[in-house]
Amino acid sequence: MVNPRMLQLGTNRSCIRELFEYGMRRAAELGPDKVCDFSLGNPSVPSPAGVGETICRLVRESESRALHGYTPAAGAADARAAVAADLNARYGADVQPGELFFTCGAAPALTAALSALAVEGAECLIFAPFFPEYTVFAEAAGMRPVVVPANTEDFQIRAADAAPLLSARTQAVIVNSPNNPSGVIYSEERLRELAALLEEKEREYGHPIYLIADEPYRELVYDGARVPFIPLLYADTLLCYSWSKSLSLPGERIGYVYVPRRAADGEKVFAAVAGAARAAGHVCAPSLMQHVIANCAALRPDIEAYDRNRRTLYEALCSYGYECVRPQGAFYLLIRSPKGSAQEFSDRAKAKDLLIVPCGDFGCPDYLRLGTCVSYETVLRSLPIFKELIEEA
């Protein structure tokens, strides 16, 4: 007499978590310097100093009720205003504070957005490779996930790959750029092609198709790359964001959904996002963190350490003969299994206490993901093991 779907979701652990927990046990047995754990996307760079300073200043200077009291469900006015101002300054956008709905991180932002759009029989297109929870979230919201196969040529999205999978049932399309697990930034050109396709299909089907842009890695980009601001390219965009990666606050659960009023039925979609959040028990995003964001919205992460890991691993692994996707952002490196299935390769690596995730659940079954948000020392220790593994292959 337990909900079977929820039991299954609570019992079937993700392969990422399984590997990570195995790594914790091995590190406890052998010492942490004996395990090279690339399983997770847990930021290794500390939060900018301004975050901690702001927390302590707010605690010292604020009235308890103002700092820790309920905020409106959509967020505190100062936090919403600060984020709108920051986005407008960076992208020349026209984000209004009232278009932002603060959430406990990107995951509930996505679930609220999907539930808001989940009409009877709805489908949700997901471009591979993708974060595996997208399919969980879409199904839980009552949408059928439809996967657009990965373009393993350059890991960019291609409108032509999506076209045959769109139908009158398509309510939403999820894109994630900079991408987890590939590190690729979807180019403005490719996004414009997708936008043109979706606009055409909106006219054909006579209803909006919302592009849900999941962008927790927006500020983690290298070599001066730029991430297009998708709401400027396609009107019917809902943008989901979190400060988990950019301010190294993944445990604090602070993010938002941006629902532009100029999107089709923008006001209704915003209200439905609020309703979906309410139905899931959302009251407000953590208030202290909202006030931190009000003060720190313009802080940027120090990504030098991630960049060094990225360059070191990419160059070394390529030189050993691995086929690697060159990351432009985020903190992952996607490599092709040099021989045998990705699962087999992951198992061989695991036997040498090198933990890398096979990407079947990411819609990319021949590949493996390295979470490169680790210490540089772990990177250096891993290199001879990677070399050994491909030489044995």
| Residues between 136 and 155 that touch a copy of itself (CB under 8 A) | 136-137, 140
State the nearest-atom distance from the C-beta of 62 to a copy of itself, in Å.
9
Q: Kindly state the smallest distance separating residue 296's Cβ from a copy of itself, in Å.
A: 13
Residue 335 or 373: which CB sits closer to a copy of itself?
Answer: 373
Type of residue found at 374: V
**Shortest distance, position 13 Cβ to a copy of itself, whole Å:** 10
Q: In the complex, what is the shortest distance from the CB of residue 216 to a copy of itself, in angstroms, rounded to a whole number?
A: 12
CB of 311 to a copy of itself, least distance (A): 22
User: For 155, what's the count of Cα atoms within 13 Å in the CB-facing half-sphere?
Assistant: 26
Binding residue (CB under 8 A) for a copy of itself from 28, 30, 89, 119: 119
The residues, any chain, with a CB within 8 Å of residue 316's CB and separated by 6 or more, are 383, 386
State the distance between the two ends of the chain, measured CA to CA, in whole angstroms.
49
Distances (CA, A) of 318 to 310, 370, 377, 383: 12, 14, 19, 11
The reply to whether 71 sits near a copy of itself by the rule CB under 8 A is: yes
Given 50, 98, 286, 365, the residue binding a copy of itself (CB under 8 A): 286
Nearer to a copy of itself, 116 or 197 (CB): 116
In the complex, minimum distance from the CB of residue 43 to a copy of itself, in angstroms, rounded to a whole number = 7
CA distance 115 to 99: 18
* Cβ count near 193 (within 10 Å): 17
Please tell me whether residue 104 binds a copy of itself under the rule CB under 8 A. Answer: yes
Bridge partners for 2 per DSSP: none
Question: d(Cα 159, Cα 192) in Å, to the nearest integer?
Answer: 9
* Residue numbers 234-253 binding a copy of itself by CB under 8 A: 248-253
Token pair of 393 as six digits:
């292959």
Task: Tell me which residues in 41-70 interact with a copy of itself (CB under 8 A).
Answer: 42-44, 46-47, 52, 55-56, 59-60, 63-65, 67-70
DSSP-based three-state secondary structure for 364: coil
As measured in angstroms, the least distance from the Cβ of 341 to a copy of itself is 27
**Stretch (H or E) spanning 259:** none
Strands 237-242 and 100-103: unpaired
Listed ranges 123-131, 287-295, 341-349, 380-388: which one lies at the site for a copy of itself (CB under 8 A): 287-295
Give the C-alpha separation, 371 to 325, whole Å.
Answer: 13
279 touches a copy of itself (CB under 8 A): yes
The residue range among 187-195, 261-269, 346-354, 376-384 that interacts with a copy of itself, by the rule CB under 8 A, is 261-269
CA distance 390 to 317: 9
Query: What part of residues 7-36 is at the interface with a copy of itself (CB under 8 A)?
Result: 7-11
Q: Is 362 helix (H, G, I), strand (E, B) or coil?
A: helix
Nearest approach, Cβ of 35 to a copy of itself (angstroms)? 16
From 38-46, 157-165, 191-199, 217-225, give the range in contact with a copy of itself by CB under 8 A: 38-46
For residue 145, is the peptide bond before it cis, meaning its omega torsion is within 30 degrees of 0?
no
Return d(Cα 369, Cα 39) in angstroms, integer: 8
Q: Site residues for a copy of itself, window 158-197 (CB under 8 A)?
A: 171
Tell whether residue 293 is a contact of a copy of itself (CB under 8 A): no
